[in-house]
């Protein structure tokens, strides 16, 4: 799907993944709207409220990074 983003993020459990996602979406939306002002008038929001989270447990980071790289062109 060309309309989604894969991120590999380490998050402190005390901070919370939902708070981390809100922070990432909020900050990126603000930066994108500053750089591309036309987005303000064309899109009411840049991100939906939904997201998918998957933990990687003990998987080596290199394997996870490769998985993400393999999905760039899918």
Three-state SS string over the chain comes to CCCCCCCCCCCCCCCCHHHHHHHHHHHHHHHHHHHCCHHHHHCCCCCCCCCCCCCCCCCCHHHHHHHHHHCCCC
pLDDT band at 10 (very low <50, low <70, confident <90, very high): confident
The overall average pLDDT reported for the chain is: 87
17-70: which CATH architecture?
2-Layer Sandwich (3.30)
DSSP state of 44: S
Residue-level pLDDT at 60: 92
* The pLDDT of residue 1 is above 60: no
């Amino acid at each position: 799907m060309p309309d989604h983003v894969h991120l590999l993020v380490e998050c402190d459990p005390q901070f919370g993944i939902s708070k981390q996602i809100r922070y990432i979406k909020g900050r990126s939306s603000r930066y994108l709207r500053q750089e591309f002002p036309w987005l303000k008038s064309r899109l009411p929001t840049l991100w939906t409220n939904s997201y998918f989270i998957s933990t990687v447990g003990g998987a080596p980071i290199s394997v996870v990074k490769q998985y993400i790289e393999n999905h760039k062109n899918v």
